[in-house]
Amino acid sequence: MNLIDLLYRHRRSEPTILLGLKLFTMTILMACLTGYLVVVIIDVKQDDGLIIKTSYINVDAVPPPTVYFYAGYNFRISTCIQIYFANTTVKCSPEDTVAYYDETFKAYYVVYNPSPNVLFNDSLTGLTLILTTSEGFKPSIDQEINVYAFDSEYDIYHILLKEMTAYDYSIFKLNKYTIKPAQFYDFSYSRVIRESMKPNWINDFGVPPTYEQKSNIESALIGGPLLYKSTEGSLIFFNIKPKSKNVIRVDKEVRSKTYLSGLGLIGGAWGLMAALYAFLFGADTLRPWGAVQSYFCGFSRFTQKKLKKIFPIIPFSDTSYKNFKKYPPYHELSSDEQTELRINSLELFLREYVVDVHYLDGIRDRLVIRPKTISDSTTNQEVQNMKKVIENSTHSTESTVTQQQEGLVNDSITVKYD
């Protein structure tokens, strides 16, 4: 489906109205392809949605979360216990727990922030926080304690709202709960790594993006009443345990549409239109020579020289519709003229419907333009060599035919005696 070939090398054996139909069809197909290209470009440019590709990877350990507790009354973490294999317990480091009062929000805060060396693995299996309230409750005091939990490697609790990203907003209240005194709670969680793309215009073209990793947790909280009550005040048992110590989930952002993928769609559409055009009007002629042999510096000249050296004459160069006007009706031709007509008709058919001879036409034109002088020793030598080959071939053929005829005559003369 080549518009240039259609305009400059129309098949003269076809009716002219077919050329108009081809032009009309090709114009419609190219308009459809151009419109589809515009739609693909706009679709890629306006594509803000990202696909989240989820996978699971094995790890050696999982860090405990950072947990914030706050309420309108005073409380503290009285005990922090790390539970190891075979129910061995070890007290947490004093630096892992912090308590303070916030004047702005008029609230008491208690924070558990694990040390970097504290990891849930095959040795550390659990963690227990015991919260103690130190003042009696009155009907006017709200007994609820608010809980926020974050991954210890990506704690966003103190980030200002104006500095938060969309991802930060999505996870800020993801693990928010309320607890009450005289209860026990089991906090289980799983760790999630989010690989987010760094915005870059080259990502639109399918270039692999640069990622930044952010982590969060997804948790569940179940609880119930304690079996006993402390004489010093109400207690809260808060048990922390991961759902899996060796597997975490990875959510990776992936672009669904790029210019490279759009190019594949355009290629498919082009193939479909070419197939439709070939179905309606037939296939184009074959092109044995590509852009390298035709246009690249050096390669084009070398290829043409090689063709001129290999072929004594340029194929298809002398075949045209003008040559057929000198022939009378076919039945009035001699045997040699009929053979010549058949060969010319075959070459013309190959030229029009099978082989694209534009490249050979260029070589022929250069041969015509180049002056043919007798002083061209190389050309004269080639001509003399060709004449000798033809004369020898003719002489050999005539001798062979004569010998065969004499043999046939001798064989045909026989004498029969009774």
Tokens of 319: 């075949």
Q: Where are the alpha helices (DSSP H) in 14-123?
A: 16-45
Does residue 22 lie within any of the structural domains? yes
Q: How confident is the model at residue 388 (pLDDT cuts 50, 70, 90)?
A: low
Judgement on whether residues 64 and 149 belong to the same structural domain of the protein: yes
Q: Residue 174: name the closest of 142, 149, 210, 197 by CA.
A: 149
Residue 127, pLDDT > 70, answer yes
Q: Residue 239: name the closest of 221, 258, 263 by CA.
A: 221
Does residue 294 lie within any of the structural domains? no
Does residue 201 lie within any of the structural domains? yes
Judgement on whether residues 262 and 196 belong to the same structural domain of the protein: no
Judgement on whether residues 207 and 62 belong to the same structural domain of the protein: yes
Q: For the segment 62-97, what is each residue's pLDDT rounded down to a tens digit? A: 999 999 999 988 898 999 999 998 778 999 999 999
Measured between alpha carbons, how far is 11 from 5 in angstroms, rounded to an integer? Answer: 10
Q: From edge to edge, which strands make up the β-sheet containing 145-150?
A: 97-102, 107-112, 66-71, 145-150, 176-179
Residue 333, pLDDT > 60, answer yes
Residue 108, pLDDT > 50, answer yes
AA letter at 120: F
Q: Is 295 exposed, middle or buried (0-12, 13-18, 19+ CB in 10 A)?
A: exposed
Judgement on whether residues 111 and 63 belong to the same structural domain of the protein: yes
Judgement on whether residues 4 and 109 belong to the same structural domain of the protein: no
Name the residue range of residue 268's domain.
1-47+257-284
Q: For the segment 194-209, what is each residue's pLDDT rounded down to a tens digit? A: 998 887 777 777 778 8
Please, how many CA atoms are within 13 Å of residue 382, restricted to the half-sphere of its CB? 11
Between residues 130 and 374, which one has the greater pLDDT?
Answer: 130
Contact predicate 80/96, CB 8 Å: yes
Q: What is the pLDDT of residue 99?
A: 93
Judgement on whether residues 19 and 151 belong to the same structural domain of the protein: no
Place of tokens 């305009």: 7
Residue 318, pLDDT > 70, answer no
Between residues 87 and 5, which one has the greater pLDDT?
Answer: 87
Q: In this prediction, what percent of the chain has a pLDDT beyond 70?
A: 68
Between residues 117 and 410, which one has the greater pLDDT?
Answer: 117
Q: Give 5's strand partners.
A: none
Q: For the segment 358-373, what is each residue's pLDDT rounded down to a tens digit? A: 666 666 666 655 544 4
Place of tokens 């947990």: 67
Does residue 406 lie within any of the structural domains? no
Q: What is the pLDDT of residue 240?
A: 96
Residue 307, pLDDT > 50, answer yes
Tokens of 272: 């479909």
Which CATH number characterizes residue 129's domain? 2.60.470
Place of tokens 């963690």: 127
Q: What is the pLDDT of residue 214?
A: 92
Judgement on whether residues 86 and 174 belong to the same structural domain of the protein: yes
Q: What is the pLDDT of residue 70?
A: 92
Q: For the segment 161-186, what is each residue's pLDDT rounded down to a tens digit? A: 788 888 899 999 999 999 988 889 99
Place of tokens 């110590």: 245
AA letter at 162: K
Residue 8, pLDDT > 50, answer no
Does residue 321 lie within any of the structural domains? no
Between residues 393 and 72, which one has the greater pLDDT?
Answer: 72
Judgement on whether residues 132 and 92 belong to the same structural domain of the protein: yes
Measured between alpha carbons, how far is 327 from 62 in angstroms, rounded to an integer? Answer: 94
Judgement on whether residues 80 and 195 belong to the same structural domain of the protein: yes
Judgement on whether residues 183 and 201 belong to the same structural domain of the protein: yes
Measured between alpha carbons, how far is 348 from 167 in angstroms, rounded to an integer? Answer: 70
Q: Where are the alpha helices (DSSP H) in 287-376?
A: 291-295, 299-310, 335-353, 358-369
Residue 190, pLDDT > 90, answer yes
Judgement on whether residues 178 and 266 belong to the same structural domain of the protein: no
Does residue 245 lie within any of the structural domains? yes
- Cβ-Cβ contacts under 8 Å for 296 (sequence gap 6 or more): none
Q: What is the pLDDT of residue 149?
A: 96
> 259-281 vs 16-45: helix axis angle to the nearest 10?
160
Does residue 175 lie within any of the structural domains? yes
Q: For the segment 237-296, what is each residue's pLDDT rounded down to a tens digit? A: 999 999 998 999 999 988 877 778 888 888 889 889 888 888 888 777 667 777 787 777
Does residue 134 lie within any of the structural domains? yes
Structural domain tally of the chain? 2
Contact predicate 1/242, CB 8 Å: no
Query: If you average pLDDT over residues 6-31, what whole number do you get?
Result: 76
Q: Residue 262: name the closest of 15, 31, 33, 59 by CA.
A: 33
Contact predicate 192/174, CB 8 Å: no
Measured between alpha carbons, how far is 114 from 111 in angstroms, rounded to an integer? Answer: 10
Q: Which of 36-45, 308-317, 330-339 shows the lowest per-residue confidence on average (mean pLDDT)?
A: 308-317
Between residues 375 and 45, which one has the greater pLDDT?
Answer: 45
Residue 340, pLDDT > 50, answer yes
Judgement on whether residues 101 and 185 belong to the same structural domain of the protein: yes
Contact predicate 6/26, CB 8 Å: yes
Residue 389 sits at the vertex; the CA angle it makes with 384 and 393, to the nearest 5 degrees, is 145
Please, how many CA atoms are within 13 Å of residue 169, restricted to the half-sphere of its CB? 6
